[in-house]
Copies of this chain bind each other. A is one copy, B any other.
Amino acid sequence: MAGGSGTRMAADMPKQFLPLAGRPVLMRTLEVFYQYDPALCLVMVLPAAHLIFWKQLCRQWSFDVPHHVVEGGRERFFSVKNGLLKIQQLRCAAQQPPKAGRDDLVAVHDAVRPLINVDFVGRCYEAASRYGSIVPVLPMTESVRRVAANGESQAEDRHGFFRVQTPQVFRADVLWNAYQQDYRPEFTDDASVVEASGERVYVVNGLRENLKITMPEDMVLAEYWLKGK
């Protein structure tokens, strides 16, 4: 997922194309999945306005990781849906109907999280093949507070709460069914969509350096992590 056409796009737009330790963020992300398994079917969902730019960038960088490109939607939900539709089409073209088996998995990943690695991606896929639906999470390190509209607030015990990362990995049929629901604003990630369809979601340990690059300071941090490798 590399952005839809919605409100968040304007701010997110430049960073995913910026070079990070010498290579655009999106290319790093795709490469990790490709290194994990070159047979994966990679689908990148991009804002309509960036499709041509991305093609030019791939040519310019001689980027040779095979992947499909799909146009994003109004909200993240619709972007993921477009991606899933593409996967279905590719399957039909290849005469591979959905198997609904344990090995038939779809990972959904934020393209602006380039600091994943092959081990971590492998752990996520393996957990999903065992549990069906998984998300990587990290514990909260800051105190957490619930705030009401009038400014009054209440402490929450942070120990039960976790911050959610991607890739989130699901059985293909489960994810496809979940995305047949109507959109709701509380769908902030794929796990929340899958859960709303009645499925249980399990967690795996997230990766500390797997940050989402949205602010200028995130690029600084990402460079730091990459230099350490």
Known contacts A142-B212, A217-B221, A225-B217; A162 and B191 CB within 8 A of each other: no
Residue of B whose beta carbon sits closest to that of A187: B155
CB distance from A204 to the nearest CB of B (A): 9
A22 located at the interface, meaning its Cβ lies under 8 Å from any Cβ of chain B in the complex = no
What 0/1 pattern do residues 126 to 157 of A give for CB contact below 8 A with B?
A: 00000100010100111111110001111111
Total copies of the chain: 2
Which of B155, B163, B214, B217 makes the CB contact (< 8 A) with A192? B155
The answer to whether B192 and A143 touch across the interface, beta carbons within 8 angstroms, is yes
CB distance from A137 to the nearest CB of B (A): 6
Please name 14 pairs of A and B residues whose Cβ atoms are closer than 8 Å in the assembled complex, sorted by A. A137-B147, A140-B163, A141-B212, A142-B163, A142-B212, A143-B163, A143-B191, A147-B160, A147-B161, A152-B201, A153-B203, A161-B161, A220-B220, A220-B224
Q: Tell me the complex Cα distance, A149–B221, Å.
A: 32
CB distance from A99 to the nearest CB of B (A): 26
Residues from chain B with a CB closer than 8 A to the CB of A225 are 217
Main secondary structure of the interface of A (DSSP, over half): mixed
Residues from chain B with a CB closer than 8 A to the CB of A163 are 140, 142-145
Q: Which 10 A-B pairs have the closest CB atoms?
A: A143-B164, A155-B192, A143-B189, A142-B163, A143-B188, A220-B224, A145-B162, A153-B203, A146-B160, A151-B202
A67 located at the interface, meaning its Cβ lies under 8 Å from any Cβ of chain B in the complex = no
Q: Tell me the complex Cα distance, A224–B195, Å.
A: 39
CB distance from A177 to the nearest CB of B (A): 17
Which of B131, B164, B200 makes the CB contact (< 8 A) with A142? B164
Residues from chain B with a CB closer than 8 A to the CB of A151 are 131, 202-203
A182 located at the interface, meaning its Cβ lies under 8 Å from any Cβ of chain B in the complex = no
A23 located at the interface, meaning its Cβ lies under 8 Å from any Cβ of chain B in the complex = no
Residues from chain B with a CB closer than 8 A to the CB of A64 are none
A158 located at the interface, meaning its Cβ lies under 8 Å from any Cβ of chain B in the complex = yes
Q: Tell me the complex Cα distance, A202–B217, Å.
A: 29
The answer to whether A157 and B135 touch across the interface, beta carbons within 8 angstroms, is no
Residues from chain B with a CB closer than 8 A to the CB of A152 are 200-202
CB distance from A214 to the nearest CB of B (A): 7
